[in-house]
């Protein structure tokens, strides 16, 4: 659980001056020292080798070595024989080579080769140059491996840049370790570095590290800025603590600071999720009042949130209002809205947006095509599906698992399982991966058509592939097995669902309960009912009534009355036709329970 942050009361904010790293493609700086401590620069001669060759030859040889490293694939095998008089372990010569080498990774390769020669020890300043070059090139993994292999300790300023490099590459844990290393050195990074780490933790959705970093900032007296607060607001949103995020936003606004639009967008998306649309409206007006006008991405976040939460009517209203305000929706927003309309079966409006998008010169993406294909599949318009699918392929979009799943699911929904099965086989022929959606759609399709053998076959094939069955797939299969009287198979599947972590729904129990009773396993059926009630699973009213009918028609009147008692205790009332049937059976049997039963029925109404 993430540690709660300290109080945000009386936040002091400032805007730091960001440090600028050197260009990643810049050459490595010419600093270092020889083994005796003599400093070198580009103009100095090497005192050790000055009698061996003059400075001009020295530079020319270094330039030639650098060219060989760039152009010869396996230069390590011949470089010593090409230059037998050169001391490659000389730091002066090494740095001269690096001065002519524009690629830090080739420089690293040369460094590793030189370090592997007998008697050559890595120079700490040269290590620092290589490491700095890797950091500036954003090569976080290479920089980390270099540190591990050389065991040298970079300067604090270099470690700060390394933290930013790690965070930019998503290596948040490693960045946190470097923070701890700086702390042990008694050094604290600049605010730019802190914020870089916070942003990295946000992107990785590691709010525990966000709060740890924030607590460390407060403890060492760092004055946070508006970017810091923006990241804290986003952390609250990731944890779905939208009210706390909103409170922090309100406080920072009162202090005269306005966080980035990302913070507003995250909050509005969260409030859409919680259906707090009044707060969404307040945030929109706040942005405008603070001269922080909502952009296309702000509205996109709102529309996406509404459509995802099945508030597509409201999303469509905002979408149209957005266009009226003069905003031009992009392809992502059109796709989001077309997908939402298709899920509402508003195919007419979806097609209007489709043609509107094309008229504006926006080419539909693969996701746009699949959204509209889904809509046509859902409404059974398979001729339109084929046309649209062909058009999608003609545009160069490849056949994918998603597109096949959309059509297979639609065909199964409308009872065209054989056509769906043909597409299923076609996926294998085209080398397209089948996923759990593919299999589950086919299992449900076959079972709904009463083809239990085929449904069971593909369920077990799904399991063999290491995929997870859905509750819907297992539910329909259990239901059909019970209808056919295959109770052992139904119970085995029900138990297997629980073992695999697939939570059975109440209707699974209802199907088994009715199946057991209809197959004559009355005692087991009553026991199953008692287990359900003990587990607080509430059978449907229709299940109770069916049980009462089956038991009474099978002359199991005592059991029928026992079930009736359970039914009344839950609060269900017996329907009129079932009531008449039960009373008739009791009268024909001259049962002494007739008067009690009628009294209970009248009382429970």
Domain assignment of residue 11, given as a range: 1-19+155-255
Residues 80 and 27 in one domain: yes
Q: Is 343 exposed, middle or buried (0-12, 13-18, 19+ CB in 10 A)?
A: middle
The residue among 135, 154, 173 that closes a domain is 154
Answer whether residue 52 shows pLDDT above 70.
no
- Digit-coded pLDDT (tens) for 479-516: 788 878 888 888 888 788 777 777 656 566 777 777 87
User: What distances in angstroms separate CA 580 from CA 242, 301, 561, 563, one per listed residue?
Assistant: 56, 57, 14, 16
Note whether 71 and 216 are same-domain residues: no
Whether 486 is covered by a domain: the verdict is: no
Predicted pLDDT of residue 595 = 53
Asked if residue 149 and residue 37 are part of one domain, the reply reads: yes
Q: Residue 43: what are its φ and ψ, rounded to 5°?
A: -85, -20
pLDDT at 33: 35
Of the three residues 104, 119, 154, the one that is the final residue of a domain is 154
Phi, psi of 87 (to 5 degrees): -90, 95
Domain count, the chain: 2
What pLDDT sits at residue 426?
92
Residues 160 and 89 in one domain: no
Q: How far, in Å, CA of 190 to CA of 266, rounded?
A: 27
Q: Is residue 275 part of a domain?
A: no
Chain centroid to CA 72: how far? 44
Q: What is the mean pLDDT of residues 337-342?
A: 84
Q: What is the 8-class DSSP label of residue 443?
A: H
pLDDT at 569: 79
Residue 42 inside a domain? The answer is: yes
Report CA-CA distances (Å) from 97 to 42, 101, 114, 243. 11, 6, 12, 59
Other CB atoms within a 10 A radius of the CB of residue 100 amount to: 16
pLDDT > 70? residue 10: no
If 0-12 CB within 10 Å is exposed, 13-18 middle and 19+ buried, where does residue 359 land? exposed
Same-domain check for residues 28 and 137: yes
Contacts of 579 (CB under 8 A, 6+ apart): 601
| Each residue's pLDDT tens digit, 231-258 | 999 999 899 898 999 899 988 888 888 8
Determine the Cα–Cα distance for residues 303 and 315; give it in Å rounded to an integer.
Answer: 5
Q: Are residues 99 and 244 in the same domain?
A: no
- Quickly count: other Cβ atoms within 10 Å of residue 54's Cβ: 11
* Residue 422 pLDDT greater than 90, yes or no: yes
Q: Which two tokens stand for residue 238?
A: 């990731």
Same structural domain, 38 and 148? yes
Q: Would residue 201 count as lying in a domain?
A: yes
- What value does the mean pLDDT of the chain take? 78
Residues 47 and 105 in one domain: yes
Q: Are residues 205 and 225 in the same domain?
A: yes
Question: Residue 451 pLDDT > 60, yes or no?
Answer: yes
The residue count of the chain comes to 605
Residue 402 forms part of a structural domain = no
CB 482 within 8 Å of CB 449:
no
Assess whether pLDDT exceeds 60 at residue 322.
Answer: yes
Task: Flag whether 236 is in a domain.
Answer: yes
The top-scoring range by mean pLDDT among 29-38, 354-363, 546-555 is 354-363
More confident residue, 513 or 129: 129
Distance (Å, whole) CA 546 – CA 537: 17
Asked if residue 50 and residue 68 are part of one domain, the reply reads yes
Any domain includes 103: yes
3-class DSSP state for residue 33? strand
* Separation between Cα atoms, residue 345 and residue 366, nearest integer Å: 20
Q: DSSP letter at 535?
A: T
- Alpha carbons 370 and 364: distance in angstroms, whole number: 10
> Which DSSP string do the residues of 402-424 spell out, in sequence order?
HHHHHHHHHHHHTT-HHHHHHHH
Q: Does residue 141 sit in the same domain as residue 131? A: yes
Given 240, 255, 270, the domain boundary residue is 255
Q: What is the pLDDT of residues 26-43, one digit of tens each?
A: 333 333 333 333 333 333
Same domain, 186 and 146: no
Yes or no: say if 585 and 598 are a contact pair by the CB < 8 Å rule: no
Which comes out higher in pLDDT, residue 38 or 207? 207
d(CA 403, CA 510): 35
With respect to residue 240, please indicate whether it lies within any of the assigned structural domains: yes
């Amino acid at each position: 659980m993430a540690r709660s942050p300290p109080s945000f009361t009386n936040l002091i904010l400032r805007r730091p001056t960001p440090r600028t790293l050197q260009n990643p493609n810049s050459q490595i700086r010419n600093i270092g020292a020889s083994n005796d401590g003599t400093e070198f620069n580009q103009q100095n001669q090497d005192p050790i080798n000055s009698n061996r060759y003059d400075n001009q030859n020295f530079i020319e040889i270094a330039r030639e070595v650098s060219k060989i490293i760039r152009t010869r694939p396996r230069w390590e095998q011949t470089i010593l024989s090409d230059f037998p008089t050169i001391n490659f372990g000389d730091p002066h010569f090494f740095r001269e080579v690096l001065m002519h080498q524009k690629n830090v990774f080739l420089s690293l390769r040369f460094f590793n080769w030189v370090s592997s020669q007998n008697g050559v020890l890595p120079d700490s300043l040269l290590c620092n140059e290589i490491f700095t070059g890797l950091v500036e090139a954003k090569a976080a993994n290479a920089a980390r491996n270099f540190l591990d292999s050389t065991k040298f300790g970079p300067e604090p300023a270099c470690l700060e840049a390394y933290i930013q490099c790690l965070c930019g590459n998503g290596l948040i844990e490693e960045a946190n370790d470097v923070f701890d290393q700086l702390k042990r050195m008694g050094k604290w990074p600049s605010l730019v570095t802190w914020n870089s780490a916070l942003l990295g933790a946000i992107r990785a959705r590691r709010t525990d590290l966000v709060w740890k970093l924030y607590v460390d900032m407060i403890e060492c007296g760092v004055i946070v800025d508006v970017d810091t607060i923006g990241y804290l607001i986003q952390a609250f949103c990731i944890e779905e603590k939208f009210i706390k995020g909103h409170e922090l936003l309100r406080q920072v606004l009162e202090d005269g600071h306005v966080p980035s639009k990302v913070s507003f967008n995250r909050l509005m998306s969260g409030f859409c999720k919680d259906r707090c649309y009044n707060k969404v409206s307040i945030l929109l007006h706040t942005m405008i009042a603070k001269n922080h006008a909502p952009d296309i991405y702000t509205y996109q976040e709102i529309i996406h949130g509404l459509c995802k939460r099945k508030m597509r009517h409201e999303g469509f209203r905002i979408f149209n209002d957005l266009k009226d305000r003069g905003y031009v929706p992009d392809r992502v927003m059109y796709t989001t809205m077309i997908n939402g309309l298709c899920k509402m079966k508003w195919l007419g409006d979806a097609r209007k947006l489709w043609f509107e998008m094309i008229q504006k010169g926006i080419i539909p993406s693969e996701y746009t095509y699949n959204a509209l294909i889904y809509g046509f599949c859902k409404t059974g318009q398979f001729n339109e599906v084929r046309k649209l699918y062909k058009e999608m392929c003609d545009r160069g979009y490849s056949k994918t698992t998603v597109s096949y799943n959309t059509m297979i699911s639609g065909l199964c929904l409308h009872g065209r399982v054989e056509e769906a099965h043909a597409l299923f086989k076609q996926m294998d022929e085209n080398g397209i991966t089948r996923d759990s959606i593919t299999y589950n759609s086919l299992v449900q399709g076959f079972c709904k058509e009463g083809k239990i053998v085929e449904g069971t076959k593909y369920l077990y094939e799904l399991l063999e592939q290491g995929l997870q069955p859905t509750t819907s797939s297992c539910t329909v299969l259990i239901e059909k097995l019970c209808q056919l009287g295959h109770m052992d198979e139904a119970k085995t599947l029900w138990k297997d669902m629980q073992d695999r972590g697939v939570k059975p729904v109440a209707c699974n129990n209802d199907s088994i309960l009715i199946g057991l009773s209809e197959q004559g396993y009355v005692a087991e059926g009553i026991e199953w009912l008692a287990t359900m009630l003990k587990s607080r699973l509430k059978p449907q009213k229709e299940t109770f009534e069916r049980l009462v009918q089956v038991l009474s028609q099978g002359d199991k009147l005592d059991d029928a009355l026992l079930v009736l008692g359970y039914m009344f205790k839950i609060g269900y009332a017996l329907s009129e036709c079932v009531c008449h049937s039960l009373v008739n059976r009791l009268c024909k049997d001259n049962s002494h329970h007739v008067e009690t039963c009628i009294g209970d029925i009248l009382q429970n109404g």
